[in-house]
Structure 1
Amino acid sequence: MSETRRPLILDVDGTFLRTDLLFETFWLGLGRAPLPTLRAALGHFRDPAALKAALVDITQPRLDLMPVSPEIDGIIKTARETGRPIGLASASDRRLIAALSDHHGFEEPPLGTADGRNLKGPQKAEALVERYGEGEFDYAGNEAADLTVWRSGKEAIVVGDPASAEVLREEGRVVTELDGGWAPRDLWKALRPHQWVKNILLFLPAIAAHDFAFSTFFLVLLGIVAFSAAASSIYIVNDLLDLEADRLHPTKCNRPFASGKVPIRIGMVASAVSGLIALGIGAALGGGFLGIVALYMLLSLSYSLKLKRMRWVDIAVLATLYTLRVVAGAAASGVDASIFMLVFIFPVFLTLGCVKRLTELALATSDERLPGRGYGRTDRGDLLNMAGIGTVGALVIFLLYSFSAQAQVLYPTRWLLWVALIPIAAWLIRMVKLGWEGRQDYDPIVFALRDRMGLGILLITLSLMFYAAGLWAEWFGL
């Protein structure tokens, strides 16, 4: 058969697509129907064909959104220019492969896992030889399991598997090698290290108690490492649950898993390792801190699975997650967290949760509800009102705290606490205004810790409180 008529057969997972359809269906199902998906995964763990069929029965992913390998796309265009027939052969469920083939207009009948036969390795080679004959097709794959298929075909296109490419060359086969795999910097990006700055909230109890000892600082720092690892673990889970929503978003579509830059299985391993690090450090810091970390991870997971899609509940959960960081700081350092402080910061974080949604709506490109969220632009007024209630509530609680017995002990010059209400109010109002105008990024805490003017206002507040506590006089004689 001439080269121009010899079929070009493409593997799907990790070759034609920069993702894996088995993991895509698992995470999509976990987000939409968690219990049936978990039952399917546990019940068919040792039977890949049955597992793939069960997951597709539960839910089917948007195949038109799947990231296509640019290198393979270039080969496809060249093949089409020469009139070569193109087909898909994959170990993924045949229903998905058939729909994917139709969507991309491939001529050859697709091959996939069906009727209990997992079309991988020797089974795939057997099916292709049965259809085309030995050496009568070219095949593109990406892993050692494809060696049997390459050996049954003519020319081999190897994606991101140098070891297999070398083996085939030593056997005298014609090999076209394409870049593949993933870069550690993309996985690092998936961990969202820029979000770790939010864990500075763990220092609040020590600052409020005026405990600046090195031992306290060190324990809180360990707590920050634990919470950073816990947060990264859940960020990855959240990204995997939000693959379709992210691909529909103008900027989130570039995230490592949505774009296919990092394989889903790598993300699953990274999430598990990060979670174990968080729990390990948590155990070292004591049972109380471990319980808070575990609660934070459980609540974050619940938020990712369900609660973030529930209007108003999602904002309350966000505020709770921020507040847990403060409680964790007290547990890590052994400093008592004032009930007034906890009651004060919750409405602050409630306000910032509203700011987060206001920002998303202000930056939205249409009037439709946000993908994966329960809000549309018509909710902006209600969100603004809730932010106003949170702001007023925080200021009232701070004022009440200034009359408490604890405040009288910690802050001899109490009238300065009342003055501090002015910059606190200014900061909160400014955050709400910037969110309303869409002049923030998608996380108000991260924005606040990078906003120079906002940081200046917060430093003024802190300076007034330190002066009221007599710390400036103690440290500098002022």
Structure 2
Amino acid sequence: MTIEKPLVLDVDGTFLRTDMLHENFWAGMGTAPLRTLLATLRHLRDPAALKAELVQIAPLRTDLLPVNAEVAELALQSRLAGREVVLASAGDRSLVARLAADYGFSERVFASDGVTNLKGPAKAKALVDAYGEGGFDYAGNGAVDIPVWEKAENALVVGHVPSARALAANGHNVVELPGGWTFRALLRAMRPHQWVKNVLLLLPMLASHRFGLDTLVPILWGMAAFSLAASTIYIANDLLDLEADRLHPTKCRRAFASGAVPIGVGMAAMVGLGAAALLIAVLLSPGFLLVTLLYMALSLAYSLRLKRTRWVDVTMLAALYTIRVVAGASAAAVEVSIYMLIFVFPIFFTLGCVKRITELSRATGNETLPGRGYGRADLADLRNVAGIGVVGALVIFLLYSVSDQGTTLYPTTWLLWAAMVPMAIWMVRMVNLAWHGRQDYDPIVFALRDPVGLGLLMLILSLMFWAAGLWQQWFG
């Protein structure tokens, strides 16, 4: 009876559509950021020791890690045919063994042990010692796997590996399997649809009635900087939320959670986008640079810790929206009224509650939302607090309408009072839609796509322009 040679699978980028070291690093950053950073600095030149320590800091749920469907199918068919399927990885042994158990592979695994980093030639030697040269088939995904492919009978190449072409030229049997990532998937991870939120930078220009190009152009550059900064934080947030996203019914399809884009690519994109945002900020003004740095720092703090704390998270969401208004004023050197900031904050606080109400309304169970501090039992409290935000915003707007600044900019006061009617309808409608689960997970994005809501916002703006005498000024 002929015994089939074992099928040996690399893990990172081959069986899995992710890298376990990167997974461990970001899991650690989400639970113990300082400890994770210190471990990384301490073992920067000793990857085997780094992997072993990161596993202790933040153990991974290997059953949630995304797999390469074609490689998984090959492994399944091999097992059904009675063939031994073995994992060989530079990942830490404890993780590789757990992953092998999750999928019913051989108990024998080849992996890093805290001392030896089982990669490239070291992996090739371990497999030859175990099975002999040509005594196994090997699936890998990078140039680092060439020493192993050279010792295998059949080389299974996952994705596009140009340097692997030399294997076929030298007489090796090479089989190519699908793999890799696309820029389009990375672009989705940057969430360009969220950039529409940066229209909030235009509010100071609208409120001060300064509509010249000398005001508009710097604000547009500011919107570009904030868009790049936001994408930086969205990527960081996705990397910190990998496990929570994989447990979510829709967020599990996000680029990094699903493995559509490698974490390493996301990290490089994050650095590039952040650098570009800060460069634009430097060119605009020192004040705008400080606002941009504050926005990025608070966003990162929110992603790392604050979003997991009840009520603090919605307060932070409101603060991040409000900072965009301050950024618009800073970019164009427009004075922003304290009344405006006090007015927009409760509106944004209400929208923060709307975001959580939507998530809870769409949740299928009563357990706490993954990575958040709320359960369905908090729905009524969130709605009540959102109602307080609505009332607070309307009261502040009323006080502004009779203030010295309000009467100077908007002489026809009763039109401002009239604008409070569609304003109240818009806010109450947003809360009601969230309560019935008919909102987008981001209320600002939803608001800018909702025809009825946009109609109400345009009516509010028209009444305010009328109160300011702008329609008469523009059209006679």
TM over 0.5, yes or no? yes
Contact 1:85 1:108 in 2 (8 A): no
**2:362 corresponds to which residue?**
363
Equivalent position of 2:39 in the other structure: 40
Unmatched tracts of structure 1, length 5 or more = none
- Tell me which residue corresponds to 1:352: 351
CA distance in 2, matches of 1:93, 1:425: 57
Task: Give the match for residue 151 of structure 1.
Answer: 150
What is the aligned partner in structure 2 of residue 104 from structure 1?
Answer: 103
Matched-pair contact (CA < 8 Å) for 2:142–2:161: no
Q: Could you say what secondary structure the match of 1:109 adopts? A: coil
What does residue 462 of structure 2 align with?
Answer: 463
Q: Map residues 392-411 of structure 1 onto 2, 5 A cutoff.
A: 392-411=391-410
Q: Deviations over 1:258-284 (max 9, x none)?
A: 000000000001111111111111111
The Cα offsets for residues 115-136 of structure 1, whole Å up to 9 and x where unpaired, read as: 4100000000000011111110
Structure 2 equivalent of residue 473 of structure 1: 472
The 2-side partners of 1:106 and 1:472 are apart by 73
Q: Answer yes or no: is the 8 Å Cα contact 1:87–1:107 preserved in 2.
A: yes
One-letter amino acid of the counterpart of residue 348, structure 2: F
Q: Which residue matches 1:413?
A: 412
Which residue matches 1:314? 313
Deviations 1:382-434 (A, max 9, x none): 10110011000000000000111111111111111111111111110000101
State the alpha-carbon separation in 2 of the partners of residues 342 and 258 from structure 1: 36
How far apart, CA to CA, are the structure 2 residues paired with 1:107 and 1:391?
60
The percentage of aligned residue pairs carrying the same residue is: 61
Q: Map 1:48-447 onto structure 2 (within 5 A).
A: 48-107=47-106, 109-447=108-446
**Matching residue's letter, 2:243:** E
1:37 CA drift (Å): 0.5
Name the CA distance, whole Å, in 2 between partners of 1:119 and 1:385. 56
CA distance in 1, matches of 2:377, 2:236: 30
TM-score between the two structures when normalised by the length of structure 2: 0.99
Q: Note if contact 1:319-1:349 (Cα within 8 Å) is conserved in structure 2.
A: yes
Secondary structure, in 3 states, of the residue corresponding to 1:158?
A: strand
- Range moving further from structure 2, 107-116 or 423-432: 107-116
Q: Give the aligned length.
A: 476
Structure 2 SS opposite 1:91 = strand
User: Could you say what secondary structure the match of 1:92 adopts?
Assistant: strand
Which residue of 2 is the match for residue 21 of structure 1?
20
Find the residue that maps to 1:112 and give its secondary structure. strand
The CA distance in 2 between the partners of 1:312 and 1:371, in whole Å, is: 16
Following TM superposition, by how much is the alpha carbon of 1:81 offset from its aligned partner in structure 2, in angstroms?
Answer: 2.8
**Cα deviation 1:43-65 (Å, max 9, x = unaligned):** 10111111111101111111000
Counterpart residue identity of residue 385, structure 1: N
* Structure 2 residue ranges without an equivalent (≥5): none
CA displacement at 1:161 relative to structure 2:
3.1
Q: 2:101, 2:107 within 8 Å by CA — same for their partners in 1?
A: no
Query: 1-side partners of 2:101 and 2:376: how far apart?
Result: 36
Distance apart, 1:223 and its partner CA: 0.3
Distance, in Å, in 2 between the alignment partners of 1:98 and 1:220 is 54
CA contact (8 A) 1:90 1:119 kept: yes
**Alpha-carbon displacement from aligned partner over 1:313-369 (angstroms, at most 9, x marks no partner):** 000000000000000000001110011000000000000000000000000010101
Counterparts of 2:175 and 2:414 in 1: how far apart (Å)? 76
- How far apart, CA to CA, are the structure 2 residues paired with 1:348 and 1:78? 56
Q: Where does residue 449 of structure 1 map in the other structure?
A: 448
Q: 8 Å contact 1:165–1:177 — kept in the other structure?
A: no
Distance 2:37 2:229 in 1: 22
Q: Which moved more, 1:267-276 or 1:163-172?
A: 163-172
Contact residue 158 and residue 164 of structure 1 kept, 8 A: no
Greater shift in the superposed pair: 242-251 or 157-166: 157-166
Cα deviation digits, residues 212-268 of structure 1 (max 9, x gap) = 001211110000000000000000000000000000001000000000000000000
- Determine the C-alpha separation between the residues in 2 that align with 1:125 and 1:195: 46
Point out 4+ residue stretches in structure 1 off by more than 3 angstroms.
Answer: none
CA–CA separation in structure 2 for the residues paired with 1:326 and 1:363: 30
In structure 2, what is the Cα distance between the partners aligned to 1:115 and 1:337? 56
Q: Residue type matched to 1:239 in 2?
A: D
Q: Distance in 1 between matches of 2:352 and 2:54?
A: 34
